[in-house]
Structures are given as C-alpha cells and as structure tokens.
Amino acid sequence: MIYAVFAPLLFAVLIPFLSRWKDRVHTGWLILPVPLAIFIYFLQFVGPNFEPQSMSVDWIPSLNISLSFYLDGLSLLFSLLISGIGMLVVLYSIYYLNHKEQLGHFYTYLYIFMSAMLGVVLSDNVYVLYTFWEMTSISSFLLIGYWHYRERSRYGALKSMLITVFGGFSLLGGLILLNIVTGTTSIREMVAQSEVILDSPYFPLILVFLLLGAFTKSAQFPFHIWLPDAMEAPTPVSAYLHSATMVKAGIYLIARFSPIFAGEPNFFVVVSLFGIVTLAWASYMAVRQTDLKGILAYSTISQLGMIMAMLGFGTDVALFAAVFHILNHATFKGSLFMIAGIVDHETGTRDIRKLGGLFTLMPISGTLAIFGTFSMAGVPLPFLNGFYSKEMFFEATLLNQAAGPFGQFLVAAIPVLAVVGSIFTFVYSMYLFFGTFRGKYREEELPQKPHEAPKMMLLPPFLLVLGVILIGLIPEVFNQSLITHAADAVFGEEINKSIYFWHGLVPAFYMSLAVVVLGVALYLTKHKWEGVYSILPGKLSFNRIYDWLVEKIESTSNRITTSYMTGSLRLYMVLLLTAIFVITSGVLVQTGGINLEVTDVAPITVTEVIVALFIAFAAIATIFTHNRIAVILTVGVVGYGLSILFVLYRAPDLALTQLIVETVTVALFMLCFYHLPNLSKTKAPLFQKGINVAISVGFGLLMMVVGISAYNSRAFDPISDFFIENSYPLGGGDNMVNVILVDFRGIDTLFEVAVLFGAALAVYAMIKLRRNKGAK
C-alpha cells in the first residue's frame, strides 16, 4: 500500500528526465502505467467480501507519528477514483497538451498531486493526513498556475492557495486538539474514543476547525469562490482536481470523522445547513455562467454541497446516498469536463453564447455529453446513475429528527431548498447540453472550424460515460462490491441498502417529478426570467469581499509599516525609550519594587556636593549651548568632574584613567569639530521638544527610582571579600583593582584591548578608505 501511495511521487522525480524526449514520445505515454498499476492494485480488493487492510512504517516514532495507512471501504472508493480518473486524465492530457508545452512541469505537479491525494485518503495518522493535505494544496496551486504567463491563472492560483491553506491551517489546529483530547494520533483510535471527544471542553473548537478545513477544501459556501477561478487551469487538471478528487478531500474528511460526530446536533445543523445552502446557491449561480467550465465549476460546488448536506443528515440512507453520489459525480463530472475541453480544443472558445449546433459536427462528443448532462440533472432513466443518487438524496432530505427551534426550521427548509437546487441543476444541465450542441450554428463567431476530436481523446470521457451507464444499469453489482463497504465505513455500522430504479409512489418520486416539470418549464422560459440575476446576486458577490479583504489587508499593513518605519532615527529612539520606560515602570509598579526609604548611606560632605552640582550644571548646560567649542568643553567639565568624584570615592585607578580618557576624548572632539558644522539652533516644533523633554526627564526619574530601590534591596553580601583577601596571597599584587583586571578577570581585559584595537582599525579604515566618492 505504501508503494501505491509513493509511486507517483517517485515517478515525479523521474519525469523531468523523461520529458527530455518529449518531441519524439509524449511524456504522458511514458508514465501512464503508474496510475494504471495503482488502479489494478486497488481493484483487487473490490468484491463483496472486502476486509479492511492496514500497514504502518515508522516515521517519527518519538512524536508518535508513523506512516500508517488504512484501507477500508471509503478509502478504497477514493483510491479507485484517484488512480482510475488519474489514469484517464493522463491519457486525455496526452492529446490535450501539445508537446511544445512544458510537459515535465505538468506531469511532475500532477503526480505529486496524485501521491498527495492517495496519502490523504489512506492515512490513518492525523499528522500524515495533514502533510498530504497541504501537498494537495501546493500541487493544486502549481497546476492552476500552470500557464503562469497569464494574469488570470496567477490570480486563480493565489486565491485557491490563500483559501485552502487558510482552511488547512485550521484543520491542523483541529487535529492537534483531537490529538490532545484523545492522546492518540490514529484516526481509528480517535473514532473509538468518540465519547471523550464529544464531552471535552474543546469540542466546539474541534468542530469549527475541522469544518473550516473541510469547507474551504470542498468549496462550500461561502468559501466556494476559489473554485470558479481555478478553472484557469488546463482542462485535464480541472477534470481531475476540481471535480473528481481534491474538492472531495473535504467530503472525505467529514465522512472519515463522521462516526465521531454522529448524532451530535451541532454537527447536523452546521454541516446540513452549509451543504444545502451551497447546493441551492451554486446551482442558482451556475445558470448565470457563460463559460462552459464556469458552469461546470458552479455545478461541482453545488453537487459537493449536496454530498456535504447528506453527510450532515447522518442517517443511514443519507450516508449511503452520499457515498453513492461521490462515485456518480466523479464519473459524470469528469466526462463533462473532458468534453468541455474537447469543445474548447476544437472550436477555440468555451463561451456558450458563441457555441451552438455542434451536434452534427461532433456527434460522439455530443452523445457523450447527453449522458453526462442528463445524469447530472437526474433525469429518470434507468441507465443514468445520477438519477439513483438524486432520488436517494430526496428520500434522505425528508428528515424527522429535530433538535431545538432552529433544527425544526432546518428540517422544514431542507427539502424545499433541495428541490429548488435540483431544479436549477436541471436547468443548467439542459442549458449546458442544448446550448452547446443544439440551436443555431454560428460559424462566423468560432475561432476555428470545428470537427470531431481524435478518437483517443474521446476514449477517457467515453470510459467515464461507460461507468455512468454501467452503474445505472447494474447498480447492485457496484453496491455489493464497493458502495456498501464505503457506506459502512462512514456510518460505523453495516448498512443494508439496495438500489432500485422504481421506488413506488413515495414523496421522493413526486419531488423528482416536480424537478423535471419545473426544470423544463424554467429552461424553456430562461430568457424571460434571466433579469432576476441583476437583483440577486446583483452587486452582491463574495469575490468582491475576498478582493476587498486582500486589498485591505495589504494596504492596511502597508500603512501601518510606513507610519512607524519612517527612517527617522529620532522616532525609533523615542519608540524604544518609551517602550523601555513603560515596561520597566510597569514592572516596578506591578511587583511593588519601589522602595525609597534609604537607611545605609555614606555621610554627605560639602566637597562632593559642590562637585556634583558642577557636573549637573555642566550636563544641563550642554543642552542649551549652541557653540561647538562650548559644548565640547562643558562635556569635558562633566568628565573631569567625574574623575574628581572618583578621587573622592577612593578609586585612584579610575580617576587616573578617567582623566586621561577625558583629555584624549576632548582632544578628539576638538580635532573633529573643525570639520563639522556649527551647532545651529534647530527649529524643532514645540510638540517635538515637549516629547524629548518628557522622555528624557521621565527616563531620568525612572533610573533614579530604580537606582534607589535597587540600592535598598541587597539580597546578599558582595563577593569582593574574596578579592580583598586574596589579592596579595593569590595574585601577588597590592593593587586590588589591577589584580582583578589582569589576574582574576583577565579575559575581560583581553577583549577590552581587542575592542580598542578594533576601534582603532575601524577609525583608520574609515579615514583611509575612500571607495565611494573617489580620493580626496
């Protein structure tokens, strides 16, 4: 099983080498066997006596993450869809993509996607599931942006990336919470602990996170907006990712976790509501589209909504119908996309307003389209699978469970919305077929002269349509060997359902009848009521909200950044100092660290006070002096005053050093000042001056409070007694300060010398090196 998952990925590595011969052999042929082999591998499990398989390989054992795969009915159904349709899509793309395209890129992305998708549906470990989940997002991004020189492609790719990765991220949150609550990373063990999850306080969060992940991936209302824009991808990609596989990943996720949530009223309300609204809204919007792929995109959204709603209902018939419809939708929608691609390929346009009357020119495509569209519409014919699942859907919508007033309302509203959605489904299906293949043939509007596609290009849609008919004719065979097992896996218990064509005169039959009658009526009068779209949605569009959000986030963050990143050093200093001031004083106040009652102080003497006054006076004078020499000299006064203080405080070495350093510094200043301009009085605004004063005074006060408080809280005695006692015996010197500098703490001194050396070198370099402006 692990080989099946990773085989496409391994081949993805080889594809760039294989694509070197693309002029002679289309790369698609060389790699076509891969999905075929996987499909055959999974096909061997199909049968009435299916037993789940599992396997596991260690990946990160210490984090309890292993590549564990589990194949039950649901995974099997999805694996077959992924590998089977994947194979057909590769075959189709061989004829769709010219060998002048960058085939290596295309197939590499496609095979990464195939691996990722197989990984999603087979993983039993939630983190492995998430890894593959994001791989699908990324490969889908690459595939949508395949024609990267087109602006629309890039826009669509970015949009789908933003939305699905947003969802993927919240999914990760949900999975982590599940892991915390249950203490396991295995999905099967989580399902077994369903009670624990439902009782945990995190349950609402888990639900929201998981649903966000699933709704964004499966394009549910209102996150559906990325899917129509993803139609900028090449048609094989649309057929594969955006109808059959990736968009069903969210469905798969809900189905996989639904045994945990079964019977939970919130789950029912949210999933059913979003599903049914998606169904109704998207089918309503689909009628409005003029692009073939646009119609199909909205149709996909609406069908996904239908499946999602059924997963929300959670009854056995609903889950069975959901699984059944997953299979049906993949077959007919895949074929329809391929036919849309053929039409595009042969006529040069996908605009349905320019198309028409193609049936005589493209009879095979037209015939295949009949089956696809009629199956999608749910036309009651015994050889169309869409009808069966739609009938079951109607049966499932007639719920009688209800919790709370909103639940009651929902139970009443669901059948109505379902019928409305299905009517519009009928309308756009008819529009899709009759608008393209019947009606007036307008040759002058078509960029190319249309003719039938090559036979091999028609083979993949033909095979899919064959699937539609086979499922329609012999549903019980598929039911017993595949669908039942999948439905069991979703429901958690065995479901014994059979698929009949004729249900008798049950309510679902009348609902189908209503759909067909009203659908035909609405389709025939379409041009009369089309004006309704200018009222609803009119200007209301989720795309606008998305664009507005993206634009707003960008401009707002830009504004915030430029508001403080002005390049002004002064502003940065103000911000830094304010932050230090606020945090320090806040901590002081919070912890009650202020202590201004001083007890143990040295006596005050007049000499020191006079020196201190001099220094303070000189320091303050630096601010008000605007003469260069005067400022430098006043700074000198501060330095010399400090050295006098050092003398008074019995620090001879300090006094000496300070004296020398101050002298040299003043001399340096004097040397430099000649080359610097005079300190003219700056005309700073009063407000700015006020801030400067406030900050400096505040900071001074803060340092004072910190100093005095620190002075008063001595936690333990200083360690200096050791230096005092051992200066002579150990260091062999009388001068304790010097012994500390070169003996006890010699490394400090070493690097201090290094600093001085570095400064000297830098000064030299700065004066000597003149690369920028030439030598002076």
Partner 1 sequence: MEIIMTVLASILFATGIYNLLQKQLLRIVIGTVLVSHGAHLFLLTMSQLKRGAPPLVVDGVTQYTDPLPQALILTAIVISFGVTSFLLVLAYRTYTLNKTDNMEELRGSEHE
The 3-class secondary structure across 532-601, one letter per residue, is: HHHCCCCCCCHHHHHHHHHHHHHHHHHHHHHHHCCCCHHHHHHHHHHHHHHHHHHHHHHHCCCCCCCCCC
User: For 317, which DSSP code?
Assistant: H
| 629 lies in the site for partner 1, by CB under 8 A | no
Map the footprint of partner 1 across residues 632-691, applying CB under 8 A. 632, 635, 638-639, 642, 645-646, 649-654, 657-658, 661, 664-665, 668-669, 672-673, 675-677, 679, 682, 684
Question: Which class for 771: exposed (0-12), middle (13-18), buried (19 or more C-beta within 10 A)?
Answer: exposed
In the complex, the smallest distance separating the C-beta of residue 651 from partner 1, rounded to whole angstroms, is 5
Rounded least distance, CB 746 to partner 1, Å:
11
Helical (H) or strand (E) element with 770: none
Q: Give every CB contact of residue 224 below 8 A, 6+ residues apart in sequence.
A: 278, 282, 301, 542
Contact (CB, 8 A) for 407 and 268: yes
CB of 697 to partner 1, least distance (A): 6
> For partner 1, which stretch binds (CB under 8 A), given 83-91, 129-137, 486-494, 606-614?
606-614
Stretch that binds partner 1, among 419-427, 513-521, 528-536, 763-771 (CB under 8 A): 763-771
Does residue 496 sit in helix, strand or coil?
Answer: coil
Strand partners for 69:
55, 123
Binding to partner 1 (CB under 8 A): which residues in 245-284? none
Residue 580 lies near partner 1 (rule: CB under 8 A)? no
Least Å distance between CB 549 and partner 1? 25
Residue placing its CB nearer to partner 1 in the complex, 56 or 735: 735
Instruction: Rule CB under 8 A: choose which of 176, 270, 574, 633 binds partner 1.
Output: 574
Q: Does residue 775 touch partner 1 according to CB under 8 A?
A: no
How many Å apart are CA 104 and CA 97, to the nearest integer? 12
Give the containing element (helix H, strand E) for 93. helix 73-96
Considering only residues 482 through 521, tell me which ones interact with partner 1, judged by CB under 8 A.
Answer: none
> Distance (Å, rounded) from C-alpha 185 to C-alpha 61?
11
Closer of 544 and 745 to partner 1 (Cβ)? 745
Interface residues for partner 1 in 415-454 (CB under 8 A)? none
Q: Which residues contact 321 (CB under 8 A, 6 or more apart)?
A: 310, 389, 392, 393, 395, 396
**Candidate segments 43-51, 250-258, 319-327, 623-631, binder of partner 1 by CB under 8 A:** 623-631
582 belongs to the binding site for partner 1 (CB under 8 A): no
Closest approach of partner 1 to the CB of residue 604, in Å? 5
What phi, psi does 649 have (nearest 5°)?
Answer: -95, 20
Q: Is 36 in the site for partner 1 (CB under 8 A)?
A: no
The answer to whether residues 344 and 234 touch, using CB atoms and an 8 Å cutoff, is no
Tell which one of 568, 579, 586, 610 touches partner 1 (CB under 8 A). 568
Specify burial of residue 553 (Cβ count, 10 A radius: 0-12, 13-18, 19+).
Answer: exposed
Cβ contact 325:303 at 8 Å: yes
If one counts every other C-beta atom within 10 angstroms of the C-beta of residue 456, the result is 11
To partner 1, the closest distance from the beta carbon of 548 in angstroms equals 24
Q: What are phi and psi of 420, to 5 degrees?
A: -60, -50
Residue number with CB closer to partner 1 (255 or 631): 631
Binding mask 286-315 for partner 1 (x = CB under 8 A): ------------------------------
Per CB under 8 A, the segment of 23-31, 343-351, 428-436, 764-772 that binds partner 1 is: 764-772
Q: Does 607 bind partner 1 (CB under 8 A)?
A: no
The verdict on 746 binding partner 1 (CB under 8 A) reads no
Does the footprint of partner 1 cover residue 594 (CB under 8 A)? no
User: Of 99, 188, 354, 628, which one interacts with partner 1 (CB under 8 A)?
Assistant: 628
Query: Is residue 566 at the binding interface for partner 1, with CB under 8 A as the rule?
Result: yes
Q: Report if residue 597 touches partner 1, rule: CB under 8 A.
A: no
Give me the least distance between CB of 662 and partner 1, in Å please: 9
Q: Which is nearer to partner 1, 287 or 740 (CB)?
A: 740
Tokens of 718: 């200083």
The count of other CB atoms within 10 Å of the CB of residue 503 is: 15
The amino acid sitting at 67 is L
Phi, psi of 149 (to 5 degrees): -80, -5
Nearest Cα to Cα of residue 235 among 81, 342, 367, 363: 342
Q: In the bound complex, what is the minimum distance in angstroms from residue 718's beta carbon to partner 1?
A: 6
Q: Report the SS3 class of residue 34.
A: helix
Q: What is the C-alpha separation between 631 and 249, in angstroms, rounded?
A: 73
Name which position in 604, 606, 686, 775 contacts partner 1 (CB under 8 A): 604
Give the residue with the Cβ less far from partner 1, 541 or 678: 678
Query: Shortest gap between Cβ of 686 and partner 1 (angstroms)?
Result: 14
Residue that has been written with the tokens 């202590």 in this structure: 595
Residue for token pair 């001085």: 756
Q: SS3 for 66?
A: strand
Residues between 525 and 564 with contacts to partner 1, criterion CB under 8 A:
562
Interface region with partner 1, contact rule CB under 8 A, candidates 93-101, 187-195, 404-412, 753-761: 753-761
Q: Which listed residue (538, 603, 685, 774) binds partner 1 by CB under 8 A?
A: 603
What H or E segment, with its residue span, contains residue 59?
Answer: strand 53-60
Q: Does 747 bind partner 1 (CB under 8 A)?
A: no
Among 258, 338, 324, 246, residue whose Cα is nearest residue 292: 338
Give the footprint of partner 1 on residues 689-718 (CB under 8 A): 692-693, 695-697, 699-701, 703-704, 707-708, 710-711, 718
Spell out a b/e string for 672-681, using b for 16 or more CB atoms within 10 Å of the CB, else e: eeeeeeeeee
What is the smallest separation between the CB atom of 687 and partner 1, expressed in angstroms?
A: 13
d(CA 522, CA 693): 77
With respect to partner 1, which residue has the nearer C-beta, 591 or 772? 772
CB 487 within 8 A of CB 395: no
The interface region with partner 1, picked from 204-212, 255-263, 294-302, 761-769 by CB under 8 A, is 761-769
**Candidate residues 13, 627, 720, 730; the one interacting with partner 1 per rule CB under 8 A:** 720
Could you tell me the smallest distance in angstroms from the CB atom of residue 707 to partner 1?
4
Examine residue 394 and tell whether it contacts partner 1 (CB under 8 A).
no
Alpha-helical segments (H) within 230-291: 235-239, 249-261, 265-286
Q: Which is nearer to partner 1, 404 or 746 (CB)?
A: 746
363 binds partner 1 (CB under 8 A): no
Torsion of CA 24, 28, 29, 32, to 10 degrees: 160
719 binds partner 1 (CB under 8 A): yes
Q: Site for partner 1 (CB under 8 A): which residue of 536, 686, 773, 774?
A: 773
How many residues bind partner 1 (CB under 8 A)? The answer is 99
Residue type at 159? K
What minimum distance in Å lies between the beta carbon of 594 and partner 1?
A: 14
Report if residue 585 touches partner 1, rule: CB under 8 A: no
Q: Please report whether residue 61 would count as binding partner 1 according to CB under 8 A.
A: no
Which C-beta is closer to partner 1: that of 360 or that of 696?
A: 696
Q: Tokens standing for 497?
A: 């359902």
**581 burial level (CB within 10 Å; 0-12, 13-18, 19+):** middle
> Which of these segments, 132-140, 144-152, 288-296, 605-613, binds partner 1 (CB under 8 A)?
605-613
734 part of the interface to partner 1, by CB under 8 A: yes
Cα dihedral across residues 578, 579, 584, 587: positive or negative: positive
Which one of residues 58, 189, 476, 752 is an interface residue with partner 1 (CB under 8 A)? 752
Site for partner 1 in 179-238 (CB under 8 A): none
